[in-house]
Chains A and B, each alone.
Chain A
Amino acid sequence: MRTLREAKVGERISVLKITGEGPVKRRIMDMGITKGVEVFVRKVAPLGDPVEVTVRGYELSLRKADAQMVVIE
């Protein structure tokens, strides 16, 4: 099971599902990372965390710990 955390910079990936529950999961989904959406991994912050992705036409940053909740193909 691969997650967004393991995705490489420059990769274009498709989201399978979001694991976990509660505020973080809801927030990730509210921001548009939902089942089936295409996500482009844009870059990693200079200190290695968080990551920046392009989703639904805009830029979103999330911590690697939270990116682990996003299961990808």
Chain B
Amino acid sequence: MSVKIALAGNPNSGKTTLFNALTGSNQFVGNWPGVTVEKKEGKLKGHKEVVITDLPGIYSLSPYTLEEVVARNYLIQERPDAILNIVDGTNLERNLYLTTQLLELGIPMVIAVNMMDVVNKNGDSIQIKQLAEKLGCPILEISALKATGIKEAAQAALQAATQVSACKVHNFSTQVEEALSAITNRLPQEINENQKRFYAIKLFERDEKILQGNMSAAAFEDIIAKVEKELDDDSESIITNERYIYIGEMIKGCYKKHSKGNLSTSDRIDRIVTNRWLALPIFALVMFLVYYVSVTTIGSYATEWANEGVFGEGWELFGATIPGIPVVVGDFLASINCADWLQGLILDGIIGGVGAVLGFVPQMLVLFIFLAFLEACGYMARVAFIMDRIFRRFGLSGKSFIPMLIGSGCSVPGIMASRTIESDRDRKMTIITTSFIPCGAKLPVIALIAGALFGGASWVAPSAYFLGIIAVIISGIILKKTKMFVGDAVPFVMELPAYHMPTVSNVLRSMWERGWSFIKKAGTIILLSAIFIWFTSNFGFVDGSFGMVEDLSDGFLATIGNAVAWIFAPLGWGNWKTAVATIMGLVAKENVVNTFGVLFGFAEVAEDGSEIWDTLAASFTQVSAYSFLVFNLLCAPCFAAIGAIKREMNNTKWTWFAIGYQTIFAYAVSFCVYQIGAVITGELVFGIGTVIAILVVIGFLFLLLRSNTKAPNSKVSVSIPG
């Protein structure tokens, strides 16, 4: 028989550390059905039949955040055999607030008071026995970090799971209790006896999300309104107030704080780190270090090793040369006399395409170590605190800064870094806008256009970054006002957790989980796209017969390029070569340069494509070239980044929305650049195109300046299947 234990607790209470200590490497990471909230399950060490579910870190069981709704739906519908509630001993009062709510679920519960070592070190004291008596359920002292008391806590939870009787629950004031029992009496029969109190309280709070079938808070309006009038407050606030009053009285006798006046180490760090004057310079320094190490030094070295060593010619290790994967596989295929086209598919298509993407993994892992550290030590919350003012103006979160910064190196880890943003809406918005910031692979494209058409003018590259930033701001403001994003504003009421040193194993585990999930999920879409592009560029009809083509311009891709070239004509570059270069840019943006090289008849070109500058200059004007640059900078990113978007959105519809939005946005901006720019330079005469471009600009202004759409319902709309 299997036993289900749910691990519940506040964020920053050491829940993840405890979960890792309890389950070891026996974990399955996924998502809760239908939402982007991460779900972790694991088997208890030494007990194969015991499954521990790590609930999202939450402060309450309110209906207002995704995490809270996910957690309570699990607790109500799946009914685990026991709850192991982890409570931060250094923050007892607020942590017990969730405890009082969990107790009402009628599920056997064990409380583990964490960080007892810190509590004792501070000279504070918690009378565990007394507290357990008052709460009516077993309480154990643990230190998840030092792995003390963990086995005992798991054992106690197992024991509780075998008992039928749940813990006792506390009483509210007389008026509220009367109302609750009146509601309980009217509850439908099918509700489980020991869940009735939970339902009654939620109905009293007018919690619409808890309602099932024909239950409705309106039916109890008379009862609720009466109490609200008597106590002169709304029912939700009455309950919250009384919980805290109850906790305050309960811990009076059993919790003693020793040092009230002294500043803790964490306070002293925060005095400097979030100081009015020092906060921004320190933040800039931290960001510089993260960027410098993970993108420019170790990161780029690792990427080079992966791209040119492992997925290239080979690399050196202690003097010995280790051949790259393509070399090994190529030799093998040649030795078994594999068909040429199959060799091409495997080497150029699959290994080349997927390798280009997997090459980013080492760099990502370096970055993820930093992110995991910044998150676990508590600095990430300070980042949000420092940057919130700027970013919330355009609908993003203070934490959006990090994805954008990383995105200037590579969008893939940048998009993955959006993980640290709790609010679903802010995270989606960040994912959509991150790839507007020019990444490293777009630099060769910028250099190509700047060199070929603008004589290497120094303003071109900065203008690309400026354009990216403006695109982020404009999109933030436009999207924030759309119906999709307006409904679910999340209040920025955030805990600033005490600083502490994370364990090495937790940081590494977090790094690996993120890295692996990218390899796994992004891998599939990238593999398919690589095969598709390889096939269409290498096969086609030559002289009426189908087969492999020598010349890219005979392939299907060229046919496709020809077929879609008209789409780009209004942007000023409607010929098939530029269309093909743009499509190839989807594999990797630096491919744009190589593709031009191939199409203009050069086998190899320098990174900035200097060999083709003259030819390219002949097929563009300055305005159309800039329009081409704008489109390629802003449109759908490379497949690797699309894979990352898919991974982080965890939803096909949202992925398509993101890509579609980026591409349409890019098209509209390039259109205006070309149509209006060309009239100014005298390339075109004022005509229909100019009028449409002006209308598009007016449309942008309207979307930017219109007042906010009214939210149909101010609550978060969450629907969870099953």
CB-CB nearest in chain B for A51:
B385
A interface footprint on B255-289 (CB within 8 Å = 1, 0 otherwise): 00100000000000010001111011000000000
Q: Is the pair A46, B386 in contact by a Cβ cutoff of 8 Å? A: yes
A31 in the interface (beta carbon within 8 A): yes
- Of the candidates A25, A31, A43, which one forms a contact with B94 in the assembled complex, judged by CB atoms under 8 Å apart? A31
A50 to B386, CA, bound (A): 8
Beta-carbon contacts under 8 Å, A55-70 to B: 56-63, 66
Complex interface: chain A residues within 8 A of B492 (CB)? 50, 61-63, 66
CB-CB nearest in chain A for B242:
A34
B interface footprint on A28-51 (CB within 8 Å = 1, 0 otherwise): 111110110100000111111110
Q: Is the pair B491, A23 in contact by a Cβ cutoff of 8 Å? A: yes
Q: Is the pair A50, B388 in contact by a Cβ cutoff of 8 Å? A: yes
Instruction: Kindly specify which of B57-65, B75-83, B445-453 makes contact with the partner chain.
Output: B57-65
Complex interface: chain B residues within 8 A of A25 (CB)? 236-237
- Of the candidates A27, A35, A44, A61, which one forms a contact with B496 in the assembled complex, judged by CB atoms under 8 Å apart? A61
B320 in the interface (beta carbon within 8 A): no
A63 to B388, CA, bound (A): 9
A72 in the interface (beta carbon within 8 A): no
With A34-B240, A56-B93, A58-B94 in contact, is A45–B493 under 8 Å at CB?
Answer: no
Q: Is the pair B93, A57 in contact by a Cβ cutoff of 8 Å? A: yes
Q: Is the pair A32, B94 in contact by a Cβ cutoff of 8 Å? A: yes
Return B70 CB to nearest CB of chain A, in Å: 16
Interface residues in B, total, Cβ within 8 A: 45
Chain A contact surface mostly: mixed
Complex interface: chain A residues within 8 A of B277 (CB)? 46
Interface residues in A, total, Cβ within 8 A: 35
A62 to B97, CA, bound (A): 19
CB-CB nearest in chain B for A32:
B94
Complex interface: chain A residues within 8 A of B498 (CB)? 58-59
Complex interface: chain A residues within 8 A of B388 (CB)? 45, 49-50, 63
Residue from B93, B240, B274, B493 having most chain A Cβ neighbours under 10 A: B493
Return A28 CB to nearest CB of chain B, in Å: 6
A18 to B234, CA, bound (A): 11
CB-CB nearest in chain B for A64:
B389
B556 in the interface (beta carbon within 8 A): no
Complex interface: chain B residues within 8 A of A59 (CB)? 270, 495-498
Complex interface: chain B residues within 8 A of A47 (CB)? 386, 389-390
With A32-B93, A44-B276 in contact, is A27–B244 under 8 Å at CB?
Answer: no
Q: Is the pair A57, B91 in contact by a Cβ cutoff of 8 Å? A: yes
A49 to B715, CA, bound (A): 25
Return A30 CB to nearest CB of chain B, in Å: 4
Complex interface: chain B residues within 8 A of A52 (CB)? 274, 385, 496
Q: Is the pair B385, A45 in contact by a Cβ cutoff of 8 Å? A: yes
A7 in the interface (beta carbon within 8 A): no
Q: Is the pair B495, A60 in contact by a Cβ cutoff of 8 Å? A: yes
Q: Is the pair B491, A57 in contact by a Cβ cutoff of 8 Å? A: no
Residues of chain A at the chain B interface (Cβ within 8 Å): 17-18, 21-32, 34-35, 37, 43-50, 52, 56-63, 66
24 A-B Cβ contacts within 8 A? A22-B714, A23-B64, A24-B491, A24-B493, A25-B236, A25-B237, A26-B62, A27-B64, A28-B493, A34-B237, A37-B244, A45-B274, A45-B279, A45-B389, A46-B276, A46-B277, A52-B274, A56-B93, A58-B91, A59-B498, A60-B495, A61-B385, A61-B492, A61-B494
Q: A46-B277, A63-B491, A66-B492 are in contact. List 9 more A-B contacts (CB 8 A).
A: A24-B491, A27-B491, A32-B94, A43-B276, A46-B279, A59-B270, A59-B497, A63-B392, A63-B492
